[in-house]
Each structure stands twice: as C-alpha cells, then as structure tokens.
C-alpha cells in the first residue's frame, strides 16, 4: 500500500513540478542547520504550500491543523506538534530529502536532485520546491507546537 502511495505521489509531483534551481546545502548530523540560500521563510506561505493540492500535496499523506481542508492523509505522521519535536535544521532536512534519514521513506525529496527513477525525464535532477518554498514550509512547521 505504501509503495503504491509513493508511486502516486511521485506522479502527482511530476505533474506539478516546475523547473527550480537546486540550491546546495550542507547536512550536519540529522539536519541542515543553515536556511537554504540564507532565505527567511514565511509561515503563511508555508501553510498555503502544505495545504495546496497542486504545490505541496502534503495532505495526501499527512494530517495537519488545516481545518478547511478535508480528506487529509493518514499514511504519514500527523504534523500537529511537529515544531515542538524537531528543530529548524531537522525539519529542513526532512523536507529537503527525507531519505537521508530514512532510506525507505516514500516521502519525496522536495529539494534534491536525487529523485527516484519514477519521476518523468523533464523533472529529473530538478527540485520539486524552490529554496524559498522549503523555507516557507519549515517556517510554518515550526509554528506547530
């Protein structure tokens, strides 16, 4: 079931991915301590990305305190309280490339060139979210305490 969900997610991301420039980052331990490209995130924009059925698609697998969105997922951890459980650095790595922490994760790498082979050729080697979008999502996740 999880593999099928992962394949469905990858197809959805391939359909919505825009050509984004990959920003290099340094992983230290279990996180990425520096904001991508030194950017500051905006929690309101981050919430919109998470709630979006076209951009983030997070609610396909996760549930979150986004009450206006029905039909939230239950395949992945609930995002409520995630800001109390993880630091900015840990959240950033989980969004950027969750497979660095869990190689069997079906969550896509949102800002990595290490997509699985099931991503369409036009999107191979390109991030799903821009550096700014990643920082916006991290900013919103940090508010969930």
Q: Please report the pLDDT score of residue 1 as a whole number.
A: 52
- Whether 2 has a pLDDT exceeding 60, the answer reads no
Looking at the structure of the chain, the number of domains it has is 1
**pLDDT per position as a tens digit, 54-88:** 888 999 999 999 999 999 999 999 999 999 999 99
Q: Please report the pLDDT score of residue 6 as a whole number.
A: 52
- Whether 116 has a pLDDT exceeding 70, the answer reads no
- Whether 18 has a pLDDT exceeding 70, the answer reads no
Q: Please report the pLDDT score of residue 19 as a whole number.
A: 46
> What is the domain extent for residue 37?
2-143
The pLDDT-based confidence of 127 (bands split at 50, 70, 90) is confident
Domain of 78, CATH number, reads 1.10.760.10
| Residues in Cβ contact with 64 at an 8 Å cutoff, skipping those fewer than 6 apart | 50, 51, 58, 72, 78, 79, 80, 144
Does this model's pTM top 0.85? My answer is no
Of 103, 95, 121, nearest to 19 by C-alpha is 121
Q: Please report the pLDDT score of residue 79 as a whole number.
A: 98
End-to-end Cα distance, the chain = 30
> Using the 8-state DSSP alphabet, how is residue 51 labeled?
H
The pLDDT-based confidence of 25 (bands split at 50, 70, 90) is very high
């Amino acid at each position: 079931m999880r593999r099928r969900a992962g394949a469905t997610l990858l197809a959805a991301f391939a359909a919505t991915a825009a050509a984004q420039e990959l920003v290099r980052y340094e992983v230290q331990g279990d996180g990425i301590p520096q904001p991508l490209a030194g950017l500051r995130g905006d929690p309101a924009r981050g919430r919109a990305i998470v709630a979006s059925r076209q951009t983030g698609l997070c609610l396909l697998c996760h549930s979150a305190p986004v009450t206006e969105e029905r039909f939230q997922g239950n395949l992945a951890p609930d995002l409520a309280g995630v800001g109390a459980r993880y630091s900015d650095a840990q959240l950033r790595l989980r969004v950027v490339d969750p497979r660095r922490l869990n190689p069997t994760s079906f969550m896509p790498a949102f800002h990595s060139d290490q997509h699985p082979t099931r991503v369409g050729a036009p999107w191979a080697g390109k991030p799903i979210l821009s550096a700014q979008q990643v920082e916006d999502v991290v900013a919103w996740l940090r508010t969930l305490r």
